Chain A
Amino acid sequence: MSPEHSILTPEEQAVVHEHTVLDRHRLMEQFHNLEQQTETALVGMWVFLATEVLFFGTLFISLAVYRYRDNAAFTTASEQLNWMIGGINTVVLLTSSLTMALAVHYSKLGNRRALVWYLLATGVLGLAFMGFKAREYYEDFEENLVPGTRFFDDAEWLERGPRTADNPTANLTPAQVPHVKQFLLLYWIMTGLHAFHVLIGIVVLFGLAALAKRGHYSPVYYTPVEVTGLYWHFVDLVWIFLFPMLYLVGLHNMSEIHF
């Protein structure tokens, strides 16, 4: 962006270079006004998120279709997952969404200290999520829930049947074992892709915190904070659906409560 496109006078630009806060809030020539410029950035992120909805949507519909085909196998496979870690991670992500919302809130009010603090808090909660995830994946490795040599040991799965009250010794049939593997593959693809999104978010959040500390954002210009907020809340949103659809499927088999 060359100086002649600036809406600021040379005197104002001198101020701008001292306080980088205002430097970024210049009108680019393709926009009518600053309001439109900001809205374009926001709508751009919403459009990206709309594509992400379909991206994750295809995975959720795969899960639905294959679960419909063999619910017993999917329930048995889901029982092997650690729903407690999934639950803790849900709380961690929801809390990080709160801190993100507060970061956007304080960037509007121009409270730079609070903005930096809440951006860092959000990033740290993201790291905590990844930590629990790592712990969970490690357990999955230990329990042979990962595609690998012993993953294809069908006999092991035949012993784990759908344990219902009516039939406590029920086992899966050999024909159902591939469906168990299918659930686990979907689990790895879906949580893996989600974790990848979280990682990207963490990098962006710490980058934003560094820029915020240097005074890049003000009540006049905080579009990057707001746009990152949209992305982060979306990542939270995906997890809101992943948690019940992956982790909670088999829980009712583990309890004695039946209607």
Chain B
Amino acid sequence: MASAAHAHVMPIRNYVLVWFVLIIMTILTAAVSFFELPHMFWNIVVALVIATFKATLVVLLFMHAIASSRLTWIVISFAVVWLGILFLLTLTDYLSRGIVPSMPGH
């Protein structure tokens, strides 16, 4: 039979609550983007923080990652790590262009 761990049942109330928070966060992110924060950088940071929070809610509670097996957690962690490598190495290159002076002969 299907194991008890697999059949993780949450009360419906929780799902509706998650949905409600997601909607509020959507309104918040749209509202914040109407304001010009001191630097463009902060607009991006706020948008990304809210989006990441929403994504975390979806992964943990809608996709039941919170109750899934250790193997699933490894796969999720590696997805995040690989995405981090992709972003980090690409940005290290592009954001540092112009900072490092061009070297003669290269």
Where the two chains meet, the residues of A that have a C-beta atom closer than 8 Å to any C-beta of B are 34-35, 38-39, 42-43, 46-47, 49-50, 53-54, 57-58, 61, 64-65, 68-69, 71, 83, 87, 90-91, 94-95, 97-98, 100-102, 104-105, 108-109, 219-221, 229-230, 233-234, 236-237, 240-241, 243-245, 248-249, 251-255, 257-259
> Are A233 and B34 within 8 A (Cβ)?
no
- Select from chain B the residue with minimum beta-carbon distance to A98: B19
0/1 interface trace, chain B 11-26, chain A, CB 8 Å (1 if under): 0100110110011001
> A-side binding surface: helix, strand, loop or mixed?
helix
Partner of A57, one of B19, B26, B33, B83: B83
- Select from chain B the residue with minimum beta-carbon distance to A218: B2
Quick check: is B6 within 8 A (CB to CB) of the other chain? Answer: yes
Where the two chains meet, the residues of B that have a C-beta atom closer than 8 Å to any C-beta of A are 1-3, 6-7, 9-10, 12, 15-16, 18-19, 22-23, 26, 29-30, 33-38, 40, 43, 47-48, 50-51, 54-55, 58-59, 61-64, 68-69, 71-72, 75-76, 78-80, 82-83, 86-87, 90-91, 94-95
**Given A97-B62, A243-B26, A57-B86 contact (CB < 8 Å):** yes
B16 partner residues in chain A, CB cutoff 8 A? 98
> Are B15 and A101 within 8 A (Cβ)?
yes
Give, as a whole number of angstroms, the nearest-CB distance from A154 to chain B. Answer: 25
Give, as a whole number of angstroms, the nearest-CB distance from B44 to chain A. Answer: 8
> Are A255 and B35 within 8 A (Cβ)?
yes
A50 to B59, CA, bound (A): 12
B61 partner residues in chain A, CB cutoff 8 A? 101
Give, as a whole number of angstroms, the nearest-CB distance from A233 to chain B. Answer: 5
Partner of A102, one of B15, B29, B47, B76: B15
A50 to B73, CA, bound (A): 11
**Given A97-B58, A108-B7, A237-B58, A248-B94 contact (CB < 8 Å):** no
> Are A91 and B23 within 8 A (Cβ)?
yes
